[in-house]
Amino acid sequence: MQDVYNGLEPHVRRGEVKRIAVVQELEKGTHSPIMNYAPEGGDKLRIIACFGWQFPLVSCGATYASKKVWGYADVREDGSAAFSVPAEVPVYFMALDAEGRAVQRMRTFTHFMPGEVQGCVGCHADRNHATPASTNRLAISGDVQPLVEPEWGVKGFSYSEIVQPVLDRHCTSCHNEREQPGGVDLSGDKTDFFNVSYDGLARTGTLGARNWQQHNTISGPAGDKQRGESPWVSWIWTINGAGHNIHRPTRAPAAAASASVPLLPSLFRHQRLGVLTRGRRPSILKPWSGCASPTIRKPPSSTEVSRCNSNPAGESMSPLVY
């Protein structure tokens, strides 16, 4: 990367971005119809998709794809970075601040072949502008960082396996089925699709809490009130009608990334949750929110593709000057 702030300023100040997270969009390895026959028999069909035509189900409307965080790379003071990424899989990048919060994330993904080197002007830089002149010699010097793996390992991000155990250890003694300070229950009991804490953090206040079978909404900003917004976690709707949130070029960075999550400041003022940040490792809730609040590691019947074994995860790696 030539300069991460090219495209982020003035919304993100120089010096704020400390790391880049590399995230894989995981495939759905099987065709899943959105309709099947009703269980009572006969020829009657029913729609089994939910939360905006999702099936298999991944989230309450925030993302259609499960995620795998491959790791993190440091950003230099001048905004540049050079690091390796996994090859032959769809990946995207998130710019993180000093606390591990995503101030911006890619809305698309890219691919690399083994050994391929790519460069990038900045984060959300205007594609209609010429590449600025630069004296950065990271690529020539060969200063390519290996990714620092997340503390939970390189695997699909599962809410029940990664987030809920942290809440169980540090939160549910106060926020449980019997008492909910601030109206927040962080217990892990199963609900209709997810669990209590996921529903409370991501689904509360949204259309998904009222009618998970509604798959279309009023298009554009006029439908924002209909779709609703969680008071705790900020995410971009993927339901039909919400396309303006994804494609609007004037959308300020950090507006729908974990840096704007109302839950996080209140959590980190809470003394019991100091354990959630150890040194430079981010809170578990920050990468979950930054990845658009997925709930399962992988959709059912999806399988990993066996690849080159140049790293412990069995994936070939490609250097990226990003």
Q: What is the pLDDT of residues 303-315, one digit of tens each?
A: 332 222 233 333 3
**Residues 123 and 3: beta-carbon distance below 8 Å:** no
d(CA 51, CA 211): 8
The reported pLDDT for the residue numbered 148 is 94
The reported pLDDT for the residue numbered 145 is 93
Helices (H), the chain: 138-141, 164-170, 196-198, 207-210, 224-227, 244-247, 263-268, 285-290
Encode burial over 261-285: b for 16+ CB neighbours within 10 A, e otherwise: bebbeebbeeeebeebbeeebbbbb
How far from chain centre, in Å, is Cα 199?
17
Peptide bond between residue 114 and the one before it cis (omega within 30 degrees of 0): no
The reported pLDDT for the residue numbered 296 is 64
d(CA 149, CA 221): 38
Give me 94's structure tokens.
């998130």
pLDDT tier at 112, thresholds 50, 70, 90: very high
The SS3 assignment for 209 reads: helix
pLDDT tens track for 215-237: 888 998 899 899 998 888 877 78
pLDDT tens track for 203-214: 999 999 999 888
d(CA 111, CA 301): 23
